[in-house]
Structure formats: structure tokens, C-alpha cells
Amino acid sequence: MNKLLEIQKKIIPQAIELMEKRYSILRQISLSEPIGRRTLSNVLEISERIIRSETEVLKEQGLIDVAVSGMTITEEGLDLLEKLKDIMNDIMGLSRLQDKIKSKLGIKKVILVPGSFDENESILKDVARCGSEYFLDILKDGDIVSITGGSTMLEFAKSIKTDKKYHNSTVVPARGSMGTDVDTQSNSIVAITSKKLGSNYELLNIPDELDISAMNTLIKVPEIKSTLDYIEKTDILVFSIGRADVMAKRRKLPQDKIEEIMSKNAVGEAFGYYFNRDGEIVYKLNTVGINLETFKNTKETIAIFAGTEKAEAFLSVSNVNKNIVLITDEKSAYKILSLT
């Protein structure tokens, strides 16, 4: 296949260019459906005239449906996107980029989606979908799965699609609740994931950060202790990374604490630990949930994020644990390379 593509590039390069264009259009429709031609034109920065002619071809091929509300992708279109993914990764150079980052960081695996979240936030859905597909590939019935909170993890949970039921698996929150948005708290994401998998689940109905005395009291409560026991035996951890400054403000830490954390060159935060560029812990909160030892010893660790602003934060965490699978967007991958 690679040889055929190389020949096509030399003899009929316009065929490859057209394939890339139609693939991008079809992929964006799948991410933003229902979407109108004008919006699609703006997102992809392709003229509305070209969008109109190309979507007509896709419609004639039965790959999309067109309605007053906008264009949507058909099952046949989704199937084609899946079949084209690896081929397009080769054509667009993503396969080489994946290998380069994997080698450079010394981590387990890298999975990239084309494009830039910074320029097109709908790409988060594609990143999350790739994350859920990889997760389902490695998930075995009986595994204990820990998941953190946040908007990326919410998209991950929503994108899980499987007919198989994991009756012997248990999904747990990797940490307590943080913030006021219920939808993006780890308990809510655990409930969605468990329903999609047909699995068991345990909740952690306590705040993510506590003072020492409150934490020592609450971790003895039977239902909380039960969840913490599951977390300690995690087989698969799925999490997103946060920038140190952003997470400190989101946790509503006092200004003097924020200044202290940043004065120690913190760039990333995960599980209540703040790390510098080299992966050294520079500050630790009294959080309930997964600890650093469990993070380091978990058999399967999946980090999912989108956006170049989190690239340095991921680098710090990748220095803590090399047994990690990274799933992100193309531009963030280039940002990671530029920082190494």
C-alpha cells in the first residue's frame, strides 16, 4: 500500500490531494454534525464553492446525508473513515510523527489525530474517540478501571461504543470531586463509562482535597475505603493532564499557595501532585484517590489531552512514568517535539 501511495504521489499527485481534502471534509462532518456548508467552509478554511461540490460527491456516494439542519455522516461514511484512518496517517505523515515522539520520550505508544485543537476545538471529539477505541482494545472483563474528571474525560466516556458487556469489571473515580460542574466530575464520568460497558462501579463521594484530620477520618468510612481499595488495584488508568497554573486556580487555592507552586517551576498537575519539567514533585496537595505509586505501577496508563498549552505539562508527567500511552492532536505533538 505504501509503495502504491508513493507511485500515486509522483504520477497523479492531485489524486492524493483530492483524497486528503475529501477525507478532511468527511471527518469534520463526523465531528461537528449536523453542520452547514458555510460553517464547514469556515472551519476547514476551504471555499464554500469547493465545499458545495465536494459534499455533493460525498452525498452521491452515500457517505453523508444533507438536511435543513445540516450535513450528517452515514454509517457507511463512518465505516470508510475508520478504514482510511491508518492510510491517511501514512499519507499525512502522522505515522512517522507518532514513532518520533514515542522514541524521543521513551514512552509505550503514541496515537495522533490530524489537525490542531488550538484552531478547531471540535478535534477534541476525535482525540477522545481514539482514546476510547484504544481503551476498548486493551480492556479485559475483570479489569479495574480508574478515570479522572474533566471535559476531556467526559468526551472520552461519551465516545465509548461497544456491544460487549464487562460484567466483571469495575470502574472507579481516580480522585474525589473537584469544582462545581457536576457533569465533568469523576463520579459522573465513572457512571457514564460503567453504563456504556455494562460494568460495576464505585463512587468516591468526597471532595478531592481535604485537611489531614478530615481525610484520616473519611478514608475509614466503609464505602469510601472500598472504593480506595479498588483504586489501589487499578489495571487501567485513563486521565487527562492539567497545566499547573490553571489547575491551581481551578482548585481555588489561596494566592500565596499558587505563587509558591509556580515559584518552584511547576508546569503540570496530575492526581494532586505538581511536577516540574523534569517530573519532580514540587508540591503535593492532601488529595483522596490515586497516589503516585499506583500511577507508576498500573499495567495500562492512557493519557488523553488536546491543545498545545498542555504539551509541557504532559512532558513533566511522561518523565514520571514511561509506561504511558499518549493520545493527542497533531499540533500538540509538534509542540512536544519542540520542547524536547
Q: For the chain, 340 residues long, give each residue's pLDDT as a single digit of tens.
A: 567 667 776 777 788 889 999 999 999 999 999 999 999 999 999 999 999 999 999 999 999 999 999 999 999 999 999 999 888 888 888 999 999 999 999 999 999 999 999 999 999 999 999 999 999 999 999 999 999 999 999 999 999 999 999 999 999 999 877 666 789 999 999 999 999 999 999 998 887 666 677 777 877 888 889 999 999 999 999 999 989 999 998 888 889 999 999 999 999 999 889 999 999 999 988 778 898 999 999 999 999 999 999 999 999 999 999 999 999 999 999 999 999 8
CATH 3.40.50.1360, the chain: domain bounds:
94-339
Give the Å distances, CA to CA, from 329 to 12, 85, 112.
Answer: 29, 14, 5
Give the Å distances, CA to CA, from 327 to 172, 235, 249, 314.
Answer: 21, 18, 25, 11
Residue 300 φ/ψ, nearest 5 degrees? -130, 120
Give the Å distances, CA to CA, from 32 to 81, 122, 171, 309.
Answer: 15, 7, 29, 23
| Overall pTM > 0.75 | yes
Strands 109-113 and 325-329: parallel
Architecture of domain 2-90: Orthogonal Bundle (1.10)
Nearest to 269 by CA among 319, 325, 317: 317
How far apart CA 333 and CA 330 sit, in angstroms, is 5
How far apart CA 329 and CA 124 sit, in angstroms, is 8
> Quick one: the chain helix, strand, coil %, rounded to 5?
55, 15, 30
Cis bond leading into 34, ω under 30°? yes
Half-sphere exposure of 118 (CA within 13 A, CB side): 11
Instruction: Give residue 35's pLDDT.
Output: 96
Could you give the maximum distance between any two Cα atoms of the chain, in Å? 72
Query: Crossing angle for the helix pair 13-32 and 37-44, nearest 10 degrees?
Result: 120
Cα angle: 20, vertex 26, 31; to 5 degrees: 120
C-alpha cell belonging to residue 69:
439542519
Half-sphere exposure of 45 (CA within 13 A, CB side): 3
In a 3-state reduction of DSSP, which class is residue 254? coil
What is the DSSP code (8-state) at residue 177? Answer: B
Query: In what helix (H) or strand (E) does residue 200 lie, and over which residues does it extend?
Result: strand 200-201
CATH 1.10.10.10, the chain: domain bounds:
2-90
The class (CATH top level) of 94-339 is alpha beta
Instruction: Give residue 203's pLDDT.
Output: 93
Q: Is the dihedral of CA 159, 269, 214, 290 positive or negative?
A: positive
Query: In what helix (H) or strand (E) does residue 136 lie, and over which residues does it extend?
Result: helix 123-138
Give the Å distances, CA to CA, from 139 to 154, 203, 260, 300.
Answer: 18, 20, 40, 9
Contact 169, 139 (CB under 8 A): yes
